[in-house]
Structure 1
């Protein structure tokens, strides 16, 4: 690891890297359990200062022409490109992401996402004329952006870039588990010439900094990604002040193998798509396809394919280019996932691959090998609750109506997938109560909206949809001439 960045130990408030007033938080490499950096344990007073800076910067920034904001964002992206190798190194160190995945998904894909937001912003008209009125989009105001640890850079890009493009100002709190990539991104914004106060960074714990941000009278919109339980608490805090909300929360996504799916290669494609979704971030993905619904008569075929494809996901040292699966983020997450595996065994699910991982030694990382359960019943905890680990539930069904009921039979509705002949798969996808559905080997479209139904959240991110979430429509009624 290259020398530590001196900004790691500071907040960024009103264009200045500030020395913290409180204690420091250790940052652990989850693959080695080495403490390799420290960040500030922010205070409510530092949140006050950051919000005040964002409020002060808002009038000028919101009146800056969109073309000028886009030009500044393009400059930030150029500096982001220059930091590519440093970002990848940090994603490996603070998250334990395998280096190849850190490069492709955690860094290069996020650069594409930034470029997609810039392109989408160009398509937004400032005003829309109606026969007797003019409708304009105005920025909401000060945004509190609170991001999770599982995609440290991507989740910041999803919130900060559209908010700034639309003329909002931002106070950012990244996860205390993966706080360092945010520093590199803030540096790119600073180097690009973004004005002081437009973007502010306060490091710290959710219980202190996050609580201070979500309850702050100076915050107009809260954009949060994390658990449904925390999302509900944030919504409760926001309600008395009528704060706008964008909540991207939990998921328990189902992949459905249709009866018409035939052939070894088609079945292998489905198994690989499911395991890619589940394992490449060690199961720590809100959209992970953690339930695989299979026709009962094809259950053994699906199990054999999954066991075969599992060989393509070697787990180990994230710095090794051959590694495809790294550790979980922390000891707490290790224990959480271990307990879910134990509950699956207790409730009678049948192990097809993996099992209860042993407790790691003092110097071992938080590694959990992939676990595949079969004959999982819909009422089991492993079929209902978000595990956030490499645990797959294979669930047999007898009719399409039963498959749909199982797929929709959780509190979540974030993502799904359907494998089968195109028309049949699209028809089934239309019926699923979920915000995003992949058909066969399709990939995400950065222009499309991302978000969930039911307890998976409120609002949408991505493309024009994600940009407009940071605006308020205003109607001006004009007297006809």
Structure 2
């Protein structure tokens, strides 16, 4: 059998293993199948290449261009994922495990691509929050902005997800405009290398955006600076060593860790063995014990059930585990494959023995190794801890494999206490239909867990599962889970950006942010703005309308026509008793309707649709005899397709005394 050479990609060149190379064994057979590592890698050249080429190229692109790049990568990988499936079997993963890793990673690219287009501007600067008025008359303002870091993201990934683990870090990094150097765990780096080759061969990424290290990082951490980021997934011990690196500390290098996690699942006190939620609880547990052979950072390690249901839970989980077929992951009938290596198998069994010193083993035999003991195969092991309050190891020992412990609780507060004994987790789940119990658990456990997954018969058909981090939500957790927040949509992108407080005049903030700020210079267009196409409109282009008087007949007609006969519009005495009104007032929506009548151009033109309004505020009531006029300004523009773009208009309604009576942002789709 030939030994595969796993290469590193350094400054646009593939380098073969050399001195310092380590052997890689098949999880199925235990035989050496590949080698990776090269102690002579020039890490300073890698960093310099990323900073000189990858960073500037990515930062030159807008958020939308980077989002399109992510979508193109996802499509490209999706067309070639069979090759990734085929090579992944040697990691011990089954076909269903491949879907979690490979399809999950590709799906994460799609999500960030979509969020980048929908939630970020087609620009280089992200505006974080609203304006802050720092001067009395609004001539000096503040705005928080986020810009791309000008360094390199060093991504250090775990062995269990060689594709998803890489892509879930690359997606927010690339969307932020920061190049990456990927260093996967050596034991499964051959899968990551193939995915990297695919992305590089696609021609989608600019030069220097992506480099790859197979093996050790060498002295790379010694050369990082304040603009760089280290994102790590792995053990707490390794995270502690990396986090404490003198150079990272002295340069305040951003460091994010997603590490050990003693995740728990709680069965609500309202659930009975006959309820569908009980079966759901059991299915979640067995799935999390056997998917990826339990090698998931989100797997359920502690099963917390009401005291009276401990034995039924043990029996039900054991019965399902007994039907789990363990074997060669290439066999479609196999439901659980192997641990990644014999070394990992030995570590899991050693950790299980520690748990066994405080808990009784109720299912599985550590001495009965499937597949005649070859490779990393091991049977699921279920324990029961009769005294979880006195136990220590069941709450701080993570056997990173198909190992879990059942324990009983007295009441919801006790369940929360047990869940929190893990010292911080990525996820705790709760199976209940009781909203009060759910609230009690969130209040008591929220501070210790990055995600609380609550499920019952109402949501179980659509739920994504206890162990599935979704790119829309933060993935991370406090305490022993690392304290980081990977993913989370745009929150994950912000990890690779710098938030800066910018202060200045309305004109200055308009120029920086690309969004018109009230008080900034107004541009008078050559024609009504609704007659002009998307590309012809300028930020700040403003229309001032004539005035329209509001009559009592208008108010009464609007009330009868719409059915909105609220007393403030119809009863003078009752309205006068309301501290908000001087007497009868016009409907707010009447004002909006009349405002549209003042600024809308009725003829067919480039305005295709009104898609909504945001941030509507009514500041001052309008009475019969008052008049209103409108200021309509182009606030921002965002392309949405090849045919049209979204125009955000700032709309302000003034009364006859030039006082602001209402304000909102109107959204229209305009043809290019």
TM-score relative to the length of structure 1: 0.91
Which residue of 154, 162, 165 corresponds with 2:164?
Answer: 154
Going from structure 1 to structure 2, the CA distance change for 1:382 and 1:9 (only over 3 Å counts) comes to same
User: Could you say which residue in structure 2 is the equivalent of 1:223?
Assistant: 231
Give, in whole Å, the separation in 2 of the partners of 1:196 and 1:268: 51
Going from structure 1 to structure 2, the CA distance change for 1:360 and 1:417 (only over 3 Å counts) comes to closer
Contact 1:110 1:157 (C-alpha < 8 Å) held by counterparts: yes
Give, in whole Å, the separation in 1 of the partners of 2:260 and 2:356: 23
Deviations 1:110-133 (A, max 9, x none): 211110011122212434262413
1:262 is displaced (CA, Å) by 1.8
Q: Residue 314 in 1 paired to residue 325 in 2? A: yes
Give, in whole Å, the separation in 1 of the partners of 2:327 and 2:157: 27
Q: How does 1:246-257 map to 2 (within 5 A)?
A: 246-257=256-267
Give, in whole Å, the separation in 2 of the partners of 1:363 and 1:394: 27
Give, in whole Å, the separation in 1 of the partners of 2:320 and 2:372: 32
1:363 is displaced (CA, Å) by 7.2
Instruction: Give the 3-state SS of the residue equivalent to 1:475 in structure 2.
Output: strand
Give, in whole Å, the separation in 1 of the partners of 2:304 and 2:498: 41
Q: Residue 458 in 1 paired to residue 483 in 2? A: yes
Going from structure 1 to structure 2, the CA distance change for 1:10 and 1:344 (only over 3 Å counts) comes to closer
Q: Residue 469 in 1 paired to residue 478 in 2? A: no
Which residue of 234, 237, 247 corresponds with 2:242?
Answer: 234
Give, in whole Å, the separation in 2 of the partners of 1:422 and 1:15: 57
Contact 1:152 1:174 (C-alpha < 8 Å) held by counterparts: yes
1:244 is displaced (CA, Å) by 0.7
Which residue of 182, 187, 193 corresponds with 2:192?
Answer: 182
Q: How does 1:317-466 map to 2 (within 5 A)?
A: 317-347=328-358, 349-358=359-368, 364-378=374-388, 379-430=391-442, 431-432=444-445, 433-440=448-455, 441=460, 442-443=463-464, 444=468, 445-462=470-487, 463-466=489-492
Going from structure 1 to structure 2, the CA distance change for 1:362 and 1:312 (only over 3 Å counts) comes to closer
Which residue of 83, 88, 105 corresponds with 2:85?
Answer: 88
Going from structure 1 to structure 2, the CA distance change for 1:158 and 1:345 (only over 3 Å counts) comes to same
1:15 is displaced (CA, Å) by 2.4
Q: How many matched pairs?
A: 470
Going from structure 1 to structure 2, the CA distance change for 1:149 and 1:64 (only over 3 Å counts) comes to same
1:425 is displaced (CA, Å) by 4.8
Going from structure 1 to structure 2, the CA distance change for 1:458 and 1:300 (only over 3 Å counts) comes to closer
Going from structure 1 to structure 2, the CA distance change for 1:424 and 1:92 (only over 3 Å counts) comes to farther
Give, in whole Å, the separation in 2 of the partners of 1:419 and 1:117: 30
Quick check: 12-21 or 248-257, which moved more? 12-21
User: Could you say which residue in structure 2 is the equivalent of 1:137?
Assistant: 146
Contact 1:15 1:195 (C-alpha < 8 Å) held by counterparts: no
Which residue of 94, 99, 112 corresponds with 2:107?
Answer: 112
Going from structure 1 to structure 2, the CA distance change for 1:367 and 1:436 (only over 3 Å counts) comes to same
Q: How does 1:16-55 map to 2 (within 5 A)?
A: 16-39=13-36, 41-43=37-39, 45-55=41-51
Instruction: Give the 3-state SS of the residue equivalent to 2:304 in structure 1.
Output: strand
Give, in whole Å, the separation in 1 of the partners of 2:383 and 2:397: 15
1:177 is displaced (CA, Å) by 0.6
Give, in whole Å, the separation in 2 of the partners of 1:362 and 1:261: 41
Instruction: Give the 3-state SS of the residue equivalent to 2:223 in structure 1.
Output: coil
Which residue of 72, 75, 79 corresponds with 1:78?
Answer: 75
Give, in whole Å, the separation in 2 of the partners of 1:355 and 1:225: 30
Give the unaligned 5+ runs of structure 1.
none
Deviations 1:283-340 (A, max 9, x none): 1111111100111111111111111221342111100111111111122221222122
Going from structure 1 to structure 2, the CA distance change for 1:338 and 1:169 (only over 3 Å counts) comes to same
Instruction: Give the 3-state SS of the residue equivalent to 1:438 in structure 2.
Output: strand
Instruction: Give the 3-state SS of the residue equivalent to 1:373 in structure 2.
Output: strand
Give the unaligned 5+ runs of structure 2.
134-140, 508-672
User: Could you say which residue in structure 2 is the equivalent of 1:304?
Assistant: 315
User: Could you say which residue in structure 2 is the equivalent of 1:124?
Assistant: 120
Give, in whole Å, the separation in 1 of the partners of 2:430 and 2:145: 39
TM-score relative to the length of structure 2: 0.66
Instruction: Give the 3-state SS of the residue equivalent to 2:349 in structure 1.
Output: helix
Give, in whole Å, the separation in 2 of the partners of 1:92 and 1:425: 42
User: Could you say which residue in structure 2 is the equivalent of 1:63?
Assistant: 60
Quick check: 260-269 or 394-403, which moved more? 260-269
Give, in whole Å, the separation in 2 of the partners of 1:33 and 1:477: 62
Contact 2:262 2:396 (C-alpha < 8 Å) held by counterparts: yes
User: Could you say which residue in structure 2 is the equivalent of 1:100?
Assistant: 96
Give, in whole Å, the separation in 2 of the partners of 1:21 and 1:399: 59
1:187 is displaced (CA, Å) by 2.1
Going from structure 1 to structure 2, the CA distance change for 1:127 and 1:254 (only over 3 Å counts) comes to closer
Larger % of helix: which?
Answer: 1
Q: Which structure has the larger Rg over C-alpha atoms?
A: 2
Q: How does 1:192-231 map to 2 (within 5 A)?
A: 192-205=203-216, 209=217, 212-218=219-225, 220-231=228-239
Contact 1:221 1:244 (C-alpha < 8 Å) held by counterparts: yes
Q: Residue 295 in 1 paired to residue 303 in 2? A: no
Instruction: Give the 3-state SS of the residue equivalent to 2:270 in structure 1.
Output: coil
1:193 is displaced (CA, Å) by 2.9
1:33 is displaced (CA, Å) by 1.2
Contact 1:46 1:202 (C-alpha < 8 Å) held by counterparts: no
User: Could you say which residue in structure 1 is the equivalent of 2:287?
Assistant: 276
Contact 2:155 2:180 (C-alpha < 8 Å) held by counterparts: yes
Give, in whole Å, the separation in 1 of the partners of 2:368 and 2:478: 37
C-alpha RMSD of the superposition: 2.3
